[in-house]
Amino acid sequence: MTPDNLSLLAIPLAALYLAALACIYRILLSYRTAQGAIAWIIALVGLPYIAVPLFVLFGRSRFGGYVKARRMGDQSLTTLLDQFEKQTTSISNPGHEHFSDELQVLCKLSRQPFTSGNQCTLLKDGTATFEALFEAMEDARQYILLEFYIVRSDKVGQRIKAILERKLAQGVEVWFLYDDIGSVLLSRRWLNELSAAGARIASFGNGNVRRRRFQINFRNHRKLLVCDGKVGFVGGINLGDEYLGTAMDQEPWRDTHCRIEGPAVTGLQLAWLEDWHWASNIRPELDWHPSFDTGGDQQVLVLPTGPADTWETCTLFFLNSINNARTRIWIASPYFVPDFQIMNALQLAALRGVDVRILIPEKTDNRLIRLAAYSYLVQASQAGIGIYRYQPGFMHQKVVLVDDRYAAVGTANLDNRSMRLNFEITAVNTNGDFVRSVDTMLREDLEYCQRMTERDYQDRSILFRLSCRAVRLLAPLL
């Protein structure tokens, strides 16, 4: 190789290492875990031609564009939050007889109050959920707000579109927000027809490419519907046929959603508004006068979490629940890849005598996560943590049950993506009747589960165990 060729090669090589140094500089200023920071720095120094583009796409820990948008529109949102907290239904005062320090933490994480006077219905499968969703949309008189991670143009999707088109013709406004990564297979024709009928549609990513550039690792994993500011839904079910589990070649689908009527719906609406404002720079006029005539007496908090928050709100929610559990902590999640904080908290809970049970699916849509979950069996079994694999089909529900004190239904999984990368949302309910209904539901699920032990890992081949441990190293990316 001639000196001239070496000089030409030195220029891009120097540029590559300068880019690697810029990435390292950013890591040192903003890293959240030392392990992740060290892994990135080693890769950037040793393999910059691979690590630099990967870091640009996947390395950020904060959704910067959303943070900036939140600050720009924070005053109007803060005003709405202040009004919400001052409502007569708010019970978020530390001196309230119902209130504890544990619940106060949740309010601070969510920037929302607990409210009373709600009526919540547990929806235990796709059929019940879609029937309730369809009915609520048909009854809407002013507006319909939708936000879903996955939207498909299949039978369910076509039914949704038909209802929305009919409501648009009746003068009801429709605001539809979807995630462009989760809904990558959604047909352009479906979107165009709904838009032509008068719906306002925005993608969480494509609507703000300039501000969101190079942040494809962040996803809006929320699944919610609000009608007229009076009725809302939140849970694990997206808009697609697979959530019904009725196809001949499909495994049964086990999922959970929740219908909320009352003041807590304002919390869902606030979360939707912030996401919509980010995606479209538009703030629609909505009804902020909550419904008080639900006939319910349930206390509910809506907890939105995501990478634009000041703290790792989803991680802190789980840690708060696990650390404050007195008799039991049961968690149902399709993906079980906890970081060391969560795993240590679960172990400590089990060691102090708390009944710790983790429900995960036997059959999953992600083989890597299934392998990673096996690697936790020894730690879990030795501490007394029960890991139960749901056998009949794919269990996709995201449910937390703490003692007999409160239950949570939402979108957050027990993995790094939900803890740090995804925008999630959860409804926390302290009502005794609702907690008992969740208890009954999970006990029924446990009847279809098989408890795993450390032998299920240790008795497998060395190749399988190595694969599990190797995949676990990828936990921050799974």
Give the catalytic positions in this structure.
Answer: 221, 223, 228, 396, 398, 403
28-63 residues labelled b (16+ CB within 10 A) or e (exposed): eeebebeebbeebbebbeeebeebbebbeebbbbbb
Question: How many of the other CB atoms lie within 10 Å of CB of 18?
Answer: 12
424 SS3 class = strand
Radius of gyration of the chain (CA): 23
Question: How many of the other CB atoms lie within 10 Å of CB of 96?
Answer: 15
Q: Which residues contact 338 (CB under 8 A, 6 or more apart)?
A: 346, 376, 414, 415
Of residues 170, 169, 187, the one with CA closest to residue 178: 187
Contact 86, 79 (CB under 8 A): no
Helix%, strand%, coil% for the chain, nearest 5 = 45, 20, 30
Pairing state of beta strands 298-305 and 115-123? antiparallel
* Residue 55 CB-half CA count within 13 A: 27
Q: What's the CA gap between 180 and 185, in Å, rounded?
A: 9
Question: What spatial distance separates the first Cα and last Cα of the chain, rounded to whole Å?
Answer: 43
Q: What's the CA gap between 120 and 3, in Å, rounded?
A: 75
**Number of residues that make up the chain:** 478
Q: Taking the alpha carbons of 146, 311, 324, 335 in that order, is the dihedral positive or negative?
A: positive
Q: Which residues contact 473 (CB under 8 A, 6 or more apart)?
A: none
Q: Which residues contact 341 (CB under 8 A, 6 or more apart)?
A: 315, 319
